[in-house]
Chain A
Amino acid sequence: MIRIVLLRLAQAVPLLFLISLLVFMMAKLVPGDPIANALAGQLSAEAIEQIRHVYGLDKPAAVQYLLWLKNLFSGDWGTSLTLRAPVVEILSSAFANTVILTGAAVLMCLIPGVAVGVACGLWQNTRRDRLVMLLVQLGHNVPIFWLAVFFIWLFAVKLRWFPVSGMYDMRGDRGPGDLLHHLFLPALSTALISMLILARQVRNSVIEIMNADYIRTCRALGYPTVLLLWRHLGRNLLAPVVSITGLQIGYLLSGVIFIEKIFAWPGIGTQLYNAAAGQDYPTIQTGVMLIAACFLAVNLLSDILQDWLDPRHQGARKS
């Protein structure tokens, strides 16, 4: 088991370096450099040269990359060009907010998704099953951004059950109740489509497992249904659920960036979006690296969990 974990880690680390190279190169694609572009005409050439020296922009690109990487690892993420504050401060609170939203979305996706999937799998081809599967097919194509706006219109404007946007009430106590109240709609909008996809795949797994020979044997031997479901279906279902959830967390993380904009959720997506508008490269680079690293970590974790839950999966590589 430890060997497998190490192997997976060894595969993930070079990927992270490749991504960091990509992120670094992106800022280098800009013609000229950000300092000269921003300050040309305002300062003399010597002053610009001096600022470039302070930021290390006069060094060769390879040296700049290594320096940047070193700073990234030691937690020195630079200063935001637009907010004039350390990137660490800006991103760490935003990141925490994004984790809250993503975590809530994962829960809202996982629990109903598995429940609906198992129910449909056991009631295969009944009217209820077909209805849910039709919803799944339709839901697959609904733009998440429109869905979010629709939820705001329905639940926040018409029914007034939930607030329209933000994370806390302006005059509220900023307590957990207030947070949950604000959290529900964005989490639901993020999770709904992934939940439908999860439900469908869980349904397929359930059908596959329930049609297996050993289940038929158990039934023929008069095994109680409850025990059958708990011991055989439940255990075998864990590995596919973990694998699908791992994949869906990736989608959820991307979805969260859309949703944050719509609900004005003060997370990393909103920060990145503002940073892009202000061409704030230090914030963009660090934020992108942060999310990409999370993405990789989630994939890694789900791979390792799968290996652990289903020994047949070990050694089987994806490509």
Chain B
Amino acid sequence: MTITLFLRRLSRHGLALCGLFILLIALLVSFLAPWLSPYDPLASFDGLRLAPPGTPGHLLGLDNQGRDVLSRIIWGGRSLLATSVLPIIFAALVSLALGMLAGFRTSAVSELIMRSMDMLFAFPMVLLAIALSAVLGSGYLTLIITLICSVIPYLTRVVYRDTRAEIAKEYVEALRAQGASTTDILFREILPNVATPLLVYTTSLLGGMVVFLAGLSFLGLGVQPPQADWGRMVGEGAQMMILGAPHIATAPALAIVLLSLAFNWLGDGLRDLLDPYQ
């Protein structure tokens, strides 16, 4: 499929466009945070503690330490995007290699890979995050390792299944009969057929993972205060919500939901656009 055809189809897919739009905004805002945010996310206005949304000069109000909520939201997406998008690309590449290796030929290695994936499946990832935070301390590294370990079993299984399915098809046999080398078959024929579903699945998976990562930060296993982070903000705002100031926790929660929805919509759209059998 050519790029222009892809773009034309994309422009007709409302939800995918919507998702892409939200995602681009989130990326842009995070990138330009130092220029866009009206205040320093750490500066506090003592007289205006817990001021509600709509306070003059502070669109989304202020938190319990008198910090501007809007500025903190503008800054707070950075850690979430950095700990989700880049690591998941890495995880997808690892899964691509593992899944193709395991799916290409049945051997002791493929057995070992798939059984290890079963083990990761059987392991609740919140526990991994808690254990890692004890070992490595809370922070980016704990979040990133947890994310990678959470998604690799899902992605590898998809690649494995697709590789097995492709290998069994007639065209592979025909290529073999014509004398194509194993590397040619793997990288020229199987890879493109396996990579597309992987891309679709990874995008959809990111939606759930964004919420999960924010949850870890909420528990205090991720980004440390006073740095602004959406999950952390919900955590800090939780107490204030109970005391009657719901905006501090709700604004970042909405941001998390929007980002998660964006990835889901984009994933659905990519599936519709890239699936030739629809």
Interfacial residues, chain A to chain B (CB-CB below 8 A): 14-15, 18-19, 22-23, 26-27, 29-30, 140-146, 149-150, 152-153, 156-157, 164, 250, 253-254, 257-258, 261-262, 269, 272-273, 275-277, 279-281, 284, 287-288, 291-292, 295-296, 299, 319
Say yes or no: B257 contacts A142, CB within 8 Å: yes
Q: Which label, helix, strand, loop or mixed, suits the secondary structure of the A interface?
A: helix
Known contacts A22-B119, A276-B130; is-contact A143 B135 (Cβ 8 Å): no
Return the contact of B119 from the options A15, A150, A258, A281 (Cβ within 8 A): A15
Once bound together, how far apart are the Cα atoms of A315 and B148, in whole Å? 31
CB distance from A277 to the nearest CB of B (A): 8
**Segment of B51-59, B189-197, B214-222 in the binding face:** B214-222
For B136, give the chain A residue with the smallest CB separation. Answer: A29
Return the contact of A153 from the options B123, B242, B257 (Cβ within 8 A): B242
For A21, give the chain B residue with the smallest CB separation. Answer: B119
Say whether B160 faces chain A, with CB atoms less than 8 Å apart: yes
Say yes or no: A164 contacts B242, CB within 8 Å: yes
Return the contact of B250 from the options A23, A146, A254 (Cβ within 8 A): A146
Which are the 10 A-B pairs with shortest beta-carbon distances? A146-B253, A276-B134, A149-B238, A141-B260, A18-B119, A276-B130, A145-B218, A254-B124, A257-B126, A288-B127
Interface digits, B139-183 against A, CB 8 Å rule (1 contact, 0 not)?
Answer: 000000000000000000100110000000000000000000000
Known contacts A143-B234, A157-B244; is-contact A319 B126 (Cβ 8 Å): no
* 10 A-B pairs with C-beta separation under 8 A: A141-B264, A145-B219, A153-B241, A156-B242, A257-B124, A261-B219, A275-B134, A284-B134, A287-B127, A288-B130
Once bound together, how far apart are the Cα atoms of A32 and B194, in whole Å? 43
B-chain residues with CB within 8 Å of residue A14 when the two chains form the complex = 115
Interfacial residues, chain B to chain A (CB-CB below 8 A): 114-119, 122-127, 130-136, 157, 160-161, 207, 211, 214-215, 218-219, 221, 231, 234-235, 237-238, 241-242, 244, 246, 249-250, 253, 256-257, 260-261, 264
For A279, give the chain B residue with the smallest CB separation. Answer: B134
- Residue of B122, B132, B135, B261 contacting most chain A CB atoms (<10 Å): B122
Known contacts A143-B257, A292-B124, A295-B124; is-contact A284 B131 (Cβ 8 Å): yes
Q: Which label, helix, strand, loop or mixed, suits the secondary structure of the B interface?
A: helix
CB distance from A5 to the nearest CB of B (A): 18
Say yes or no: B215 contacts A258, CB within 8 Å: yes
- Residue of B117, B119, B246 contacting most chain A CB atoms (<10 Å): B119
- Residue of A146, A153, A253 contacting most chain B CB atoms (<10 Å): A146
Say yes or no: B122 contacts A292, CB within 8 Å: yes
Once bound together, how far apart are the Cα atoms of A176 and B246, in whole Å? 32
Return the contact of A292 from the options B123, B135, B231 (Cβ within 8 A): B123
Once bound together, how far apart are the Cα atoms of A23 and B127, in whole Å? 10
Say yes or no: B133 contacts A276, CB within 8 Å: yes
Say yes or no: A19 contacts B114, CB within 8 Å: no
Say yes or no: A253 contacts B124, CB within 8 Å: yes
B-chain residues with CB within 8 Å of residue A280 when the two chains form the complex = 134
Known contacts A146-B253, A272-B130, A295-B124; is-contact A141 B119 (Cβ 8 Å): no
Say yes or no: A257 contacts B119, CB within 8 Å: no
Once bound together, how far apart are the Cα atoms of A292 and B218, in whole Å? 23
Say yes or no: A257 contacts B127, CB within 8 Å: yes
CB distance from A164 to the nearest CB of B (A): 7
Return the contact of A295 from the options B123, B157, B211, B244 (Cβ within 8 A): B123
B-chain residues with CB within 8 Å of residue A272 when the two chains form the complex = 127, 130
Once bound together, how far apart are the Cα atoms of A215 and B215, in whole Å? 45
Once bound together, how far apart are the Cα atoms of A261 and B122, in whole Å? 23
A-chain residues with CB within 8 Å of residue B125 when the two chains form the complex = 254
Once bound together, how far apart are the Cα atoms of A46 and B73, in whole Å? 53
B-chain residues with CB within 8 Å of residue A146 when the two chains form the complex = 234, 249-250, 253, 256
Once bound together, how far apart are the Cα atoms of A287 and B128, in whole Å? 11
Once bound together, how far apart are the Cα atoms of A92 and B134, in whole Å? 21
B-chain residues with CB within 8 Å of residue A296 when the two chains form the complex = 122
Known contacts A146-B253, A149-B238, A295-B124; is-contact A19 B130 (Cβ 8 Å): no
B-chain residues with CB within 8 Å of residue A254 when the two chains form the complex = 124-126
Return the contact of A26 from the options B118, B132, B214, B238 (Cβ within 8 A): B132
